[in-house]
Amino acid sequence: MTKLIYIIESLSIWVGRAFGWCILILTFSVSYEVFVRYVLNAPTVWAFDMMVQMYGGLFLMAGPYALAQDTHVRGDVLYRLFPVRVQASIDFVLYLLFFFPGMLALFWFGAEIAADSWRYQEVSWNSPARIQVYFFKTLIPFAGGLLIIQGFAELLRSWLAMRSGQWLERLEDVKETEQALMAGAAGPTIR
Residue 128 has pLDDT above 90, yes or no: no
Average pLDDT of the residues in 152-173: 92
Please, which pLDDT band fits residue 191 given cuts at 50, 70 and 90? very low
Domain membership of residue 97 (yes or no) is yes
Q: How far is the CA of 108 from the CAs of 46, 61, 103, in angstroms? A: 30, 17, 8
Q: Which domain holds residue 36?
A: 2-72+80-168
- Residue 52 scores a pLDDT above 80: yes
Question: In this structure, is residue 58 part of a structural domain?
Answer: yes
In this structure, is residue 87 part of a structural domain?
yes
Residue 150: CB atoms within 10 A of its CB come to 25
Average pLDDT over residues 38-44: 92
Task: Give CA–CA dist 80/91, Å, rounded.
Answer: 12
The pTM for the full model equals 0.84
The single-letter DSSP state of residue 172 is P
Q: Is residue 186 part of a domain?
A: no
Cβ–Cβ contacts within 10 Å for residue 89, how many? 16
**Residue 185 lies inside a defined structural domain of this protein:** no
- Lowest mean pLDDT segment, chosen from 3-17, 37-51, 165-179: 165-179
Residue 25 has pLDDT above 50, yes or no: yes
Q: How many angstroms separate the CA atoms of 135 and 110, rounded?
A: 12
16 located within any domain: yes
Q: What total number of domains does the chain contain?
A: 1
**Residues 176-185, mean pLDDT to the nearest whole number:** 72
Residue 170's Cα: distance from chain center in Å? 16
Asked whether residue 190 is assigned to any structural domain, the reply reads no
Residue at 47 is within a domain: yes
CB 120 within 8 A of CB 132: no
